[in-house]
Amino acid sequence: MNTARAQLLDWLRNAHAMEVQSEEMLKTHIRRLHHYPQLRDRIVSHLAETCEQQAKLEHCLREMGGEPSGLREFSARFLALGHGLLQVASTDEVVKSLVLTYSFESMEAVVYRTLMTSAEVAAQPEIAGVCEDILRQEEAMAEWLREHLPDIVRQYLVRLELPGIQAKR
């Protein structure tokens, strides 16, 4: 049915699939990062938020009489790009991870802003509130990455020039 409610339900399912992919991506970064503890720690704390977000979205979906579905194409496609970047054993891996994570978190923020509006239109204030809470977490993560990007890029470039030191992760 073409209703705001049906559209909200569909977008909530997409968001849930996006968070499942996000969890995988963050875990991959955590496993691979060794020499950038500040970045690693921030990703670890966002991984915990990401798992909570999945649970919140599942709750919203069930409240609306739906349930999470498997992978959706939209996030799968985006992540195919990301995994491609990570799987290449590149010498600038930490910077590629940074670019990917920053892009992903920014995209997530836009998705939750869209969802929040959609929930308001569909007269689901509780769901709108949940989406707003998640939106703040995504914005905080994107902002942290934006702020720390110059420092991490500098650290990488310094390490790159030091003989016998690993720079890439």
Binding site for Fe ion (CB under 5 A): 108, 138
Nearer to Fe ion, 46 or 168 (CB): 46
- Tokens representing residue 75 in the block: 């996030």
Closest C-alpha among 1, 108, 11, 109 to residue 69: 11
Report whether 167 contacts 93 (CB < 8 A): no
Shortest distance in whole angstroms from residue 81 CB to Fe ion:
17
Nearer to Fe ion, 23 or 92 (CB): 23
Nearer to Fe ion, 119 or 142 (CB): 142
Nearer to Fe ion, 93 or 138 (CB): 138
Shortest distance in whole angstroms from residue 5 CB to Fe ion:
25
Shortest distance in whole angstroms from residue 19 CB to Fe ion:
7
CA 126, CA 109: separation in Å to the nearest integer? 18
Shortest distance in whole angstroms from residue 106 CB to Fe ion:
10
Question: b/e map of 53-82 (b: 16 or more CB within 10 Å)?
Answer: bbebbbebbeebebebeeebeebeebbeeb
